[in-house]
Amino acid sequence: MAATFFHQPVAGLNGWGIDVPSFGSSRIFGKLLSTRLFFNSSYHKLQHPVLGSISHDSSTESSLILIRHGESMWNEKNLFTGCCDVPLTKRGVEEAIEAGKRISYIPVDLIFTSGLIRAKMTAMLAMTQHQEKKVPIIVHNESEQATLWSGVYSEKTTNQSIPVITTWQLNERMYGDLQGLNKKDIAEKYGKEQVREWRRSYDISPPNGESLEMCSRRAVAYFKDFIEPHLESGKHVMVAAHANSLRSIIMYLDRLTPQEVTSLEMSTGIPLLYIYKEGKFSSRGSPVGSTEAGVYAYTQVII
């Protein structure tokens, strides 16, 4: 007779003990699942190749890493992508790995990504470079069965893992009728000014798509409801998402005005670090790579 191994999983939606929307409420901002947290911020002495050992006191501050996905196959073709689910190019893969090197010494307890493969690939590839060598595991909470079937039954393994929460609220802005069209062709057809307005204004939507303001309503609400509480509790969080979901989150973190956000650009695959302390976020720019003096995450050029 086969031995019975089955018992309560240590990890799975409830076992990770993380506050995320349950499968019953994943499409709306619903109740939080509050359970015990197995993850602890136990590693506080990670080595930066240039700066050496960096201490983090999780009781007083926590780190937030924001990263736009690496170059996607439609970025390469200069196509409006929005919520179309396309993968990274080889260059995008390399950018994600390089990003991972830049953040390899910053503690990460929890990862949030959009539901789109380019953000998930970026987060996973970046974590292959992390000094802690913990394994990022995507949390499947889309159904009760998915939760059960993805259970982990070893506490030791759970402690060597990082839960990855994927959520559509962090997706790229829905680009409406522009999705799949070439950005240069559309600028030639409708004029650069019109296209700039569709791409960078705060409250003007592309045809049948989301404005930055609309995107911000879901992305920032998710950030406040489901990400900020983890930072408050001392967890170190990485968010892998998209140009416009991140622009809206940065607008919130940096208190940018609708006018200021129009000139905020996000490069692919460049991580940005924020420190959360006593209810306030302070931007630390992009973590420095091992072979250079610094990088710039923001550029002004579009089209």
Q: Rounded distance, CA 195 to CA 212, Å?
A: 14
What residue type is assigned to position 300 of the chain?
Answer: Q
Q: List binders of ligand 3PG among 164-193 (CB under 6 A).
A: 172, 175
Distance of CA 143 to the CA centre of its chain: 22
Residue 235 as a binder of ligand 3PG (CB under 6 A): the answer is no
Judged by CB under 6 A, does residue 242 bind ligand 3PG? yes
Part in contact with ligand 3PG (CB under 6 A); list of ranges 48-56, 108-116, 242-250, 281-289 = 242-250
**How far is the first Cα of the chain from the last one, in angstroms, to the nearest whole number?**
66
* Token pair in block for residue 259: 């006018």
**120/165 Cα distance (integer angstroms):** 10
Answer whether 182's CB lies under 8 Å from 79's CB. yes
CA distance linking residue 179 with residue 40, whole number of Å: 41
Q: In what helix (H) or strand (E) does residue 13 lie, and over which residues does it extend?
A: helix 13-16
Identity of the residue, 175 or 202, whose beta carbon is nearer to ligand 3PG in the bound complex: 175
Using rule CB under 6 A, residue 127 touches ligand 3PG: no
Q: Is 7 a catalytic residue?
A: no
Q: Is 210 a catalytic residue?
A: no
* Least distance to ligand 3PG, CB of residue 108, Å: 24
Among 9, 70, 82, 107, binds ligand 3PG (CB under 6 A): 82
DSSP helix/strand/coil, 263: coil
- For residue 88, what are the β-bridge partners? 72
| Min separation Cβ 285 and ligand 3PG, Å | 21
Q: Which is nearer to ligand 3PG, 56 or 242 (CB)?
A: 242
**What's the CA gap between 154 and 136, in Å, rounded?**
15
For the CB of residue 188, give the shortest distance to ligand 3PG in the complex, in Å: 16
Q: Residues 237, 123: contact at Cβ < 8 Å?
A: no
Which of 58, 81, 89, 158 touches ligand 3PG by CB under 6 A? Answer: 81
List residues forming the annotated binding site: 68-75, 81-82, 118, 172-175, 183, 199-200
List residues forming the annotated binding site for substrate: 68-75, 81-82, 118, 172-175, 183, 199-200
The residues annotated as belonging to the active site are: 69, 172
Site residues (vs ligand 3PG, CB under 6 A): 80-82, 172, 175, 199, 242-244
